[in-house]
Homo-oligomer: A and B are copies of this chain.
């Protein structure tokens, strides 16, 4: 069975698709009311709101699929501002010809990822467009800012440590391998960063800022922060964690892990005094075994990101300049 234009009509075919597939996996007390908007209780916390659209191809890949990615990506954006994810909306654009069994696997995966992240899917929408059997998913997440560290005006200070939560480049190398039909065992790192972030915040680490390292890679993220905060960062090439198989993949293709996308990694800047404790906390989480302190804030008042190379030289790290990899998330 395939998706046809009638599935987007708003009539009987749409109702059947929603009842037989979306409700089957996504049903909960909020969503089942099928109102124009979901009605949610008052919050005693301030709010965080974020949106992301996912257009990755292929739709399924080692380590994940567009459904899992659509939940993890948005949930992670909430955690990055110290907000606990509460409610999620999901907007599906289905291309005519999309295989219904594939769609079912993706919706099931999305549902499972939402359960694991502790977020309710409270509103949804489905549209059908002409195309070649692909699909896009927008998710928008609403979170409650239960952790005050990131809202109490923490400023980035000299000597603060820059920490990365694990190996870089996995998602990028995985998607690229799939497109190029290269056989290897590289898996996407697509994951919910919640447990790691919660551990840091609950144990009182003075986190100045956190960012998940997605499109544009670590190089771009560091530059964006350095520019916004007007600080000078120095990172050490030999401290940057990269899995050996991903490093080989990069060496062959001339890729730089600093500019490769991840979907289950974040960087954070923490107070110098907390750096060892923060690293230990991260290493004790499921996804943090390869966490590393990769550098420090060496000056304030001036925007610059430099890399100390393995050979002892220094080079300036700029934002991603060239195209990266299209449709990676």
Contact = CB atoms under 8 A, between A and B. Distances in A.
15 contacts: A10-B320, A11-B220, A12-B320, A34-B228, A36-B76, A37-B78, A39-B151, A40-B48, A42-B46, A49-B122, A50-B123, A51-B124, A55-B127, A89-B140, A136-B136
A125 B8 contact: no
Given A52-B125, A93-B136, A322 B11 contact: yes
Contact of A81 (B13, B37, B127): B37
Nearest to A92: B53
A65 interface: no
A91 B11 contact: no
A326 B5 contact: yes
A138 interface: yes
A215 B39 contact: no
Contacts of A322: 6, 9, 11
Contacts of A87: 49
B46 A41 contact: yes
A38 interface: yes
A212 interface: yes
A63 interface: no
A141 interface: yes
A6 B328 CA distance: 12
A50 B38 contact: yes
Interface string A10-24: 111111000000000
Interface residues of A, number: 79
A54 B129 CA distance: 10
A322 to B, nearest CB: 7
Given A35-B81, A51-B89, A52-B91, A324 B9 contact: yes
A244 B47 CA distance: 48
A11 B49 contact: no
Nearest to A216: B10
B10 A53 contact: no
Contacts of A170: none
Interface in A123-176: 123-125, 127-129, 136, 138, 140-143, 145, 151
A91 to B, nearest CB: 4
Nearest to A41: B46
Given A39-B151, A42-B45, A81-B39, A323 B9 contact: yes
Contact of A48 (B39, B76, B124): B39
Contacts of A293: none
A123 B49 contact: yes
Given A8-B327, A10-B261, A91 B138 contact: yes
A275 B149 CA distance: 53
A8 B48 contact: no
Given A8-B327, A10-B217, 20 more contacts: A11-B215, A11-B220, A11-B321, A12-B319, A12-B320, A13-B323, A14-B215, A15-B319, A34-B228, A37-B48, A37-B49, A37-B80, A37-B81, A38-B48, A40-B46, A40-B49, A43-B47, A49-B87, A54-B127, A91-B91
